Amino acid sequence: MADRTGRYLYAIGRGIDEEEIAGTPGLRAAPLRVVEHRGLAAVVSDVDLDEFGEGGLRRNLEDLQWLEDVARTHDAVVRAATAFGPTAPLRLATVCFDDDQVRSRMDQWHAPLVRALDRVDGRVEFSVKAYAAQPEPAGQAAPAATGPGAGAAYLQRRKEETLRREMAGQDAARDAEELYTVLAEHAVAGRRLQPQDPRLTRHEGTMVLNAAYLVDADEPFADTVDGAVDRWPGLQVEVNGPWPPYSFATLEEQ
C-alpha cells in the first residue's frame, strides 16, 4: 500500500523554530513541522494525498471555497515564518511525497534559494494598484430627434466620445507609468503584475497598474504613496501591505 500522506511546502527560510511556529495551524489543522537542511528551513505539514494528490488538486482547485481556505492558511503560515527571518514563500499547492524529497529540492535549489533569501532579508512587499478614475460623461444635450442633420450630429458625438475615451485611457496609462517609476525610487525593486479583471476587483474604474514593490522593512512606504498620489488626480490609488515578499523571492534558473 502506498502511503497516502504527502508533505505540503509553505515556505523556505532561515532559523524557523519548530516549537514556536507550532502555534500556527497548518492545513486541515495539521501541526507544522520544520525540515532543516544545509542552513535552510522548510515549513511543511502532512496532507492527505486524496485531497492534495494530482487528482484531488485537479478537482479541488476548481472549488473556490477550498481554494480560499488553502490560500488563507498558506498565507498565514508564510506570515508566521517571516517572523523568524527571511522567507521565500512557495507557490500554492507544492506537495512532496516525504521529507527526503523536500531535502532533495532544497539541495537542488540551494544556491538560488540562498540568493533569494539574501535579496528579501529585512524587506517586505507592498502592493500598489491604480485605477483610472471614471471619465465624466459627456454633456447630455438633448439631441434633435428628427430633422435634417440629426443622424450626422449623432455620429459626430459618438466619434468625439470614442476619441475622448481613448485619450483618457492614454492619459491614465501615462500617469500609471509615472506613478510606478516615482514609487520605484523608494523601493529596492519593483515589478508589474498583470492588471486584474474588473469583474474580480469589483472596482468601477479600469485597473491601469498592479505593481509590487520590495521595500526595506523600516521604509514608510505607504506614507510615501499617500503623499505622492495627489500628483495624479486621474488615478485612484490603493496601497496594501506589508506582504511577505511573494513577488520577489523568485528563483532564477540554474
Which residue, 127 or 206, is less far from another protein as judged by CB?
Answer: 127
According to DSSP, residue 126 is labeled: E
Does position 85 interact with another protein (CB under 8 A)? The reply is no
Does position 230 interact with another protein (CB under 8 A)? The reply is yes
Q: Which of residues 96-115 bind another protein (CB under 8 A)?
A: 96-97, 101, 105, 108-109, 113
Does position 140 interact with another protein (CB under 8 A)? The reply is no
Which residue, 41 or 249, is less far from another protein as judged by CB?
Answer: 249
Q: In what order do the strands lie in the sheet with 40-48?
A: 5-13, 40-48, 33-37
CB of 20 to another protein, least distance (A): 18
Sign of the torsion formed by the C-alpha atoms of 103, 105, 108 and 113: negative
H-run or E-run covering 163: helix 150-184
Q: How far apart are CA 95 and CA 86, in angstroms?
A: 22
CA angle 82, 85, 88 (to 5 degrees): 60
Assigned C-alpha cell, 124: 517586505
Does position 238 interact with another protein (CB under 8 A)? The reply is yes
The binding track of 2-31 with respect to another protein, each residue x by CB under 8 A or -, is ----x--x--x-------------------
CB of 234 to another protein, least distance (A): 9
CB of 19 to another protein, least distance (A): 22
